[in-house]
Amino acid sequence: MDTVVVVVWLSMVVTILSRSHADRNVYPSAGVLFVHVLEREHFKGEFPPYPKPGDSSNDPITFNTNLMGYPDRPGWLRYIQRTSHSDGVLYGSPTAEHVGKATIIEITAYNRRTFETARHNLVINIMSTEEYPLPYQAEFFIKNMNVEEMLASEVLGDFLGAVKNVWQPERLNAINITSALDRGGRVPLPINNLKEGVYVMVGADVQFSSCLREVENPHNQLRCSQEMEPVISCDKKFRAQFDIDWCKINLVDITKVVMIHSNRPDPGTGVLPDIGEYNPPSESLKSRDFFADFLITLAVPSAVAMVLFTILGYSMCCRREGVIQLVHHSSIQKSTKELRSMSKNREISWPLSTLPVFSQSGEVVPPIHPDNYETTSMPLMQTQINLQNQIQIPQQQPSGDRDNYCMSTFRRLEVNGIPEERKVAEALNL
C-alpha cells in the first residue's frame, strides 16, 4: 500500500515539474499590440491538491516575469496585475528591431497561501509584417477605463469597431496602450468609481476623417484652452461606452514626419529605446583594501588635535603669561567667595523709613520687628503697639497747657553698638 502511495506521489511531482518547464510559443507581429493573459486557473492545476476540496480555488497567486537570464523584462513589454486574485497581463508593441529574435520570458507563479511556486517559459517569436508601420496614427485618451479593462479582447474590439466606423480605413490595428499613470497622471480618488485613464494608439492606412479633424478647428481649440469640451460630431458613437477627452487626441502623419525629420525614429510607438544588453563587471576584479584610507581618515584629524592640545597646554601651564592668567583667575574666585561670605554676616542699620511714627496722642510707636529681622521683608509703616525697652520722653499736650506733659515712647537705637542719641535729641526739639 505504501509503495502505491509513493508511486502516485512521484508521478504527481513529475507531472508538476513537466508542466512547470513546458514552453509556450506565441507569434506577435511587429508594430501591432501584443497581449498575453496569465490565467490563474491555468496555474492552479500545477500546484498539488489539498486534503479539503476547494481549498485551492481562491488561493492568492501573483506572478513574476523577467527575460531569461535578466532581472527584468524587455523595454517594449509591460506587465500588470491589479490584485492577487486577478489575472496578470503581459502587453506591449514590439518593433521591427526585434523581428527574428526569440524572446524567452520566464513566468513564475507564487501561491501566497502555501508559498509554493510554479514556473514555465513564454517564447515570443516576433514576426514581420508588410503593414508596419501604418502611416496614419491617432492616439485617444479614454477617461473611464483602466489599462487592464482596456486590454480585454472584447473591450478593445468594441473600441476598434467604433474607430473604424468613424475613420473608415481598410486596415486598422491597435499599436499601443499606455496607462495614464505612466504619462505622469495622478492616482484617482477611491470615490465615484473613478478610473486612472488610458491612452490607446491606433493606426490606419487612410487619411484622417473629417470627424477626427474637427478638434483642430479654431473654435474647438479655443474651448480646449478654456478647459471646455469641444464640439465633435462623432462623439456620440463613443459616448455610450467610452468617455474620450478630445482635447488630448494626437494625430500623427508618419509620412510627413519622416520627410521633415528623417534622422529621428518613428514617433508614436511609445516603446522604450533599446540601449543594449547589460554587461556586469568582470569577476576578476581585485578587491580594494580600505584599511589605509580608514587610518588616514582617523590619524590626520587626531594628530592635528593632539598638536593643538599640546600647544594650548604649554601656553597655559608652562609659559609665564599663562601662569599669570591662571593665578589671576584663581585670586578673582577667592575674592568673590570672601565677599559673598562677608555679605552674609554684616549688620545693616534700620532705614529711616522704619523709624517710629508719632500719633495724634503724642505717643511714639516703635517698629515691631527685632533688630535681627531681615530688612528686605520689613514693611515701611508699623502698627501702634507698646514694646519693652522703650525710652519715655516728655511731649507737650495739644491743649496748649505748657505745665503739663505726657511721656511719649521712643525706642533706643544702636548703630554698631553705640546708642544713637541724636535721634532722641531731634525728638525732644519737636
Facing residues of 407 across strands?
394
Sign of CA dihedral 222, 225, 228, 232: positive
Where residue 22 sits, what CATH number does that domain have? 2.60.40.10
Residues 68 and 154 reside in one and the same domain: no
- pLDDT digits 0-9 by tens, 290-332: 888 888 889 889 999 999 999 888 877 776 666 677 777 788 8
Residues 95 and 38 reside in one and the same domain: yes
Query: What are the two backbone dihedrals, phi and then psi, of residue 404, each rounded to the nearest 5 degrees?
Result: -105, 135
Q: What is the pLDDT of residue 158?
A: 92
Facing residues of 393 across strands?
408
CA separation for the pair 324, 316 (Å, rounded): 9
Boundary of a domain, candidates 125, 150, 165: 125
**Could you identify the residue written with the cell 508542466?**
19
Q: Which domain holds residue 179?
A: 136-260
Residues 81 and 172 reside in one and the same domain: no
One-letter amino acid for residue 246 of the chain: W
Q: Is it the case that residue 38 has pLDDT exceeding 50?
A: yes
Tell me the CA distances in angstroms from 136 to 73, 88, 131, 169, 247, one per residue in order: 29, 31, 12, 10, 19
Residue partners of 51: CB distance under 8 A and separation at least 6: none
Domain count, the chain: 3
- pLDDT digits 0-9 by tens, 240-273: 889 999 999 999 888 776 443 334 445 555 566 6
SS3 (DSSP) at 96: helix
Whether residue 428 contacts residue 407, with contact meaning beta carbons closer than 8 Å, is answered with no
Q: Which residue has the higher pLDDT, 374 or 343?
A: 343
Boundary of a domain, candidates 260, 291, 320: 260
pTM of this prediction?
Answer: 0.54
- The three three-digit cell numbers of residue 193, written as one number: 468609481
Whether residue 149 contacts residue 142, with contact meaning beta carbons closer than 8 Å, is answered with no
